[in-house]
Amino acid sequence: MKLFLHSCFLTLIFFVPVLSQNTYNVVDFGAIDDGRSDASEAFSRAWAHACDDRFAAKIYVPPGRFLLHNANFEGYCTSPSIEFWIEGTLIASSTYDDSNYWIFFYKVDNLSISGGTIDARGHTLWDCKSKNNDCPFGPVSLVISNGYNISINNLASKNSKFFHIMINNSEKVSIRNATITAPEDSPNTDGIHTMDSNDLLITNSSIMTGDDCISISRGTTNLSIQNINCGPGHGISIGSLADVVNEKPVENISVSNIIFTGTSNGLRIKTFARPSNSYVSNVKFHQITMKDVNNPIIIDQNYCPGHEECPHENSGVKITNVQYVDIKGTSTNIEAVHFDCSLSNPCEQILLKNVKC
């Protein structure tokens, strides 16, 4: 602190220290940007230094193509915040195994992932699945698990082997300006999948996949989805629910300003026809545009993909307080709205207002 005396005035000037941010360039740890050399160890070393930093830290991925095998980034970190800044492209091996994930952030708080592209190169696994061979599900491209205060911004995800992005058991997560792409016939390539997580935002993104643009699974609460272009794909789905009897509910979901183009479904809630203590409550779909959607609005409590080994019971999932407001567009199916609710636990408080499909 410095003191300046000017006649009768005493001026106090405080110099507030600015917290520094240390940057860790993966190239400095041995990563080669040729798309052929395995950069996994270099990324791990960069993460270890950033995680152990006592100041805010940045991991920098410069332009180029960096081959990563299964990459596991774990907390608990000393650094108060970590920025994962990608200007290049992360590519996975074109082969596949029975791994559950490709890029995995576990127990990391105050993390931002920005820019760049991740390309999982899923074509080989898709081909295996198309031939009905004994194929694994494949790894999720990017998993956020047990995290708090996570932001994903301006990320492009291509050609996932399984889901593109999964948010699991996390809180306060935002995804903004994402571009997610996979061919229309690529199996199980959900764009964003949420489960057991609270306080989520997905906004201003384009999702074109072979499965759900966004799938909302058990235990998802306080989720806002805004300004999404979806299609091709299977639409936005809550479910499938009733995998097990004791399953966490889905509640407080807001879906607004969505454009569906050529999707097989628009707004869907799906549950298996078996006992469950779960429920779906307080859901609002509003300001939605459908363009040549096969099933614009659907509740299916007898869901059974492939119609094989169907439970043929009554779904125990209670669906209540669901609003469909200001929905317009075109349907390729003569039946634009279909509600198939549980016989033993029927839907309640379903509102349709200004729906024109």
pTM: 0.93
Instruction: State the Cα–Cα distance between residues 110 and 115, nearest whole angstrom.
Output: 17
Which residue stretches of the chain have pLDDT < 50?
1-19
Q: What's domain 30-189's superfamily in CATH?
A: Single-stranded right-handed beta-helix, Pectin lyase-like (2.160.20.10)
Total residues belonging to the chain = 357
**The predicted structure's pLDDT at residue 326:** 98
Q: In this structure, which amino acid lies at residue 208?
A: M
Catalytic residues: 211, 234
Tens of pLDDT, residues 42-76: 999 999 999 999 999 999 999 999 999 999 999 99
DSSP one-letter string for 301-340: TT--GGG-S---S----EEEEEEEEEEEEEESSS--EEEE
φ/ψ of 328, rounded to 5, equals -140, 165
Contacts of 285 (CB under 8 A, 6+ apart): 255, 256, 267, 297, 322, 323, 324, 325, 327
**The predicted structure's pLDDT at residue 23:** 97
Instruction: State the Cα–Cα distance between residues 325 and 327, nearest whole angstrom.
Output: 6
In CATH terms, are 30-189 and 212-357 the same topology?
A: yes
In the chain, where are the structural domains located?
30-189, 212-357
Tens of pLDDT, residues 249-300: 999 999 999 999 999 999 999 999 999 999 999 999 999 999 999 999 999 9
**The predicted structure's pLDDT at residue 344:** 93
Cis peptide before 94 (omega within 30 of 0): no
Say if CB 59 and CB 85 are below 8 A apart.
yes
Instruction: State the Cα–Cα distance between residues 53 and 47, nearest whole angstrom.
Output: 10
**The predicted structure's pLDDT at residue 310:** 87
Domain 212-357 belongs in CATH node 2.160.20.10: yes
**The predicted structure's pLDDT at residue 148:** 98
